[in-house]
Amino acid sequence: MRVVQILQRSGRVLGARPSALARAFSSLPEHEVVGLPALSPTMEMGTISAWLKKEGDKINAGDVICQVETDKAVVDFEAQDDSYLAKILKPEGTADIKVGEPIFVTVDDASSVAALATFSINAATPAAAAPAAAPIAAPVAATPAPVSAAPAAAPAANTIAGRVVASPLAKKIARESGVSLAGVSGSGPLGRIIRADVEEALARVQSQPAASAAVPAAAAPAASTAAPVVHGDYTDLPLSAKAQAFAAQLTQQKLDVPHYHLTIDVTLDKLLAARELLNKSRAESEQLSVNDFILRAAALTMKKVPAANSAWMGTFVRQFHNVNISMMMSVDGGVVAPVLRNTNLHGLDGINADVRTLVEKVTNENSDLADDDFEGGTFTISNVGMYDVKSLAAIVSPNQACSLGLGAIAKRVVPNDDPEATQIYKFATQMTATLACDHRVIDGATGAQWLASFKELVEDPLRMIL
């Protein structure tokens, strides 16, 4: 299994490199100290299983440098750029290496390898503290100013503490070609600029020399987010750091979690009748929704089948005492999943109030919505019924064991179970519910039991008050 060097979760870097990308700029040649990457969402430490490159070897982008044993599997550490392996800091078999802890050193020239033969991270750290973050001095007046490959922008994903983050080889090519890295969009981890990015920017500059020179750097418009880039037959739409983190998280979940899905149809006629009856005596701002009943039923089902309110933790299964439901909500630019906390302790009134408060926080730009509002969920509910989609087989969220996908509510023809009826079939209002399960935590029988209990509560809402 191959993975990229850096994964993100909830906007936080689980990083393959220390935040300052530690370097020593004393008497040593330019080099890069690489830390242990986070190769799974829950990884905190790892073990070097095998080195597939030895000191002095050439590393090409895409090569596997070493294999790392994580809390879940043995995975490959794949190079993102060309370089030479100058020094291995953690020998094969070294265990309990913390994420971000230096494991090897690279250089961009083979001639620099020998100078780092006795490299020690302890000796290099003091030198890295001060000059490392300082930008390279601007060329003297007699030297033509470098051509900016793109409009100047506010510090973006490829900057750390105001400093452009790029590989040594990318910096070398940029210096030699006169391309300013400040305007180059990086395609490496966390937007890190690699060789291919500089070469692409150089090609754009060379194809439009007049237009580039006509716009002074000071007059270039600043942008808080990267704009779409048009390439003739297609357009590239840049992703925010959080969007990239979410995508990496979903990918890792699909790779790591042995999913299975169970689907059932639930009849809502009694629930809709109960909702209509209750809403007659409620104010317009307190009207109960079908979603309130669904949340209540899910929370009560977790009480009946507590094994589902759990998470796989590698060497043990953690069973949660309260039900915190991550509720998928559609917003401009995608979806978010804020958490309704302690849903098992609230009745329909409390759930209704909590949902309204959460919706207000999500939709109001001036709200005090924080990262904590999206963390700590023990179960996820996704509803795509408003798009007339019949069913949804979801991906189980991190640190959870199951996720419920709901489809559209529709009138369907079903067998008539009334023994006194003259018609064989009848109309019923139904919805399809699909439970995605982590097989490591929930076996098929437990998953089926959960769905059966959920169906029982939804189809007979009076049971929710018992």
Nearest in space to 329 (alpha carbons), one of 383, 379, 374: 383
31 is catalytic: no
* CA dihedral of 283, 273, 453, 394, whole degrees rounded to 10: -70
Q: In terms of C-beta density within 10 A (0-12 exposed, 13-18 middle, 19 or more buried), how is residue 67 classed?
A: middle
439 is catalytic: yes
Single out the catalytic residue among 269, 349, 443, 460: 443
Per-residue tokens: 94: 């070294």
Q: DSSP code of 333?
A: T
How many CB atoms are located within 10 Å of the residue 216 CB? 9
3-state DSSP assignment of residue 219: helix
CB 400 within 8 A of CB 378: yes
* CA dihedral of 249, 255, 258, 263, whole degrees rounded to 10: 60
Counting every residue, how long is the chain?
A: 466
Distant-in-sequence, close-in-space partners of 115: CB < 8 Å, separation ≥ 6: 28, 29
How many Cα neighbours within 13 Å face the side chain of 152?
Answer: 10
Rounded Cα gap, residues 255 and 98, in angstroms: 23
CB 310 within 8 A of CB 317: yes
Catalytic residues, by residue number, are: 439, 443
